[in-house]
Amino acid sequence: MTDDRDPSATPRRAFLAGTVGTALVGTAAGAVGDDDNAGENGRKHRSGCNGQRSGADTRLPTAHDLTMDDGHRLRVWERTTVDEPEEAVIFVHGSTYGAVSMFDPPLGDEFGWLPSAAAQGQATFAPDMRGYGHSEPPAEYDEPPEANAPPLSFEREALDILEVTRWLRNERGFDRVHYVGLSGGTWRGRAVYEVGDPDYATVTLAGGSFGTLEIGADPEGPAYATQERSGFIERWNAELPEGADRDYWIGGAEYTADEVQAAVWKAIYETNQAIGDGEASETPREGGETADEETIIAPLVRQESEYHPRQIDDPTLVIRASSDGIISREGALNLYDAVGATDDRKRYVEIAGGTHFIFLERERREFFDAVRQFQTRY
């Protein structure tokens, strides 16, 4: 596996804009094209394919391009603020949205989970899984979704995470590595323990469940779904309790809800997941009507095994937000009960006042602190 820090070495990828199907809001969770042929094929480039956002946003974390064992390029983001950190944390995002948008969106220097953990002396790393963010997209994403079966699987993602873990230990010199899986990242963590023995210092399963959600894409297809900007906003807002002050619930005293959601969407859209050339595109909807709206690919991931939580035997924290509209308390407690760590090495925590996106809301610091306190116990 190699680490190529020069994102300009990766050619921009082309995409068949205007051929995607019905918009879908995902909740659970390639080849690089040749620009010389883009005009011949009637393709439009995606924005941000070289790892740079529009406007050359200098706030992005440090980028590492790692080549996996099968030649696929994976983008791993790093934020480290101390000279000699003693431990590393792998932050693994969920389905639909990539690493920067979930862990380090462009909204103040100390807003995201990566800056928060880095400020406490940890070296933080967040991979964009295949098909997400700035990582190399699967070749199947160059075609309409119905043309292929889903190319992604939790097992392949687990192998990639194990490769990143080996890179942190063997090349970066970290003996102590924590795992933090967010939403779909909790299923990825289960798969990691199914296919390998990562020996993490601690495991955090944030916004995950067991036995209450149907997870995994139809193995027959389509290859991917899509999501519009309005769908992203509606999904988030729908979780707020009835009568809640949206600005206060999401932004607290620091930001408005619109500021937070706009920054997060910016980090989602200005990546390889964007459909089109970075501007609003006419995306077909069910029934043939179109919407002039920014749209992204929402990856679909196959689940090829149950990936039972009993495989996770390292110290484990299961944490949930009380108003999470996707992960029920029953499902989260099922996950806690099923984790294989002994009772003295696992813990369940619930934080009041947050949705499935609590890590981007006003209660995010309490959420981060609960995770950090657990990590320091082991």
- Residues, the chain: 378
Strand partners for 206: 182, 319
The pairing of strands 62-67 and 3-4 is antiparallel
The pairing of strands 14-15 and 44-45 is antiparallel
Check if the beta carbon of residue 216 is closer than 8 Å to that of residue 301: yes
Check if the beta carbon of residue 88 is closer than 8 Å to that of residue 174: yes
Amino acid identity for residue 151 in this structure: P
CA atoms in the 13 A half-sphere facing the CB of 30: 33
Q: One digit per residue, pLDDT tens: the chain, 378 residues?
A: 655 544 333 322 222 232 232 222 222 332 222 233 332 322 232 333 333 333 345 689 999 999 999 999 999 999 999 999 999 999 999 999 999 999 999 998 889 999 999 999 999 999 999 999 999 999 999 999 999 999 999 999 999 999 999 999 999 999 999 999 999 999 999 999 999 999 999 999 999 999 999 889 999 989 999 999 999 999 999 999 999 999 999 999 999 999 999 999 999 999 999 997 654 344 433 333 445 799 999 999 999 888 999 999 999 999 999 999 999 999 999 999 999 999 999 999 999 999 999 999 999 999 999 999 999 999
Looking up tokens 């050339």 gives 277
- pTM for the model: 0.84
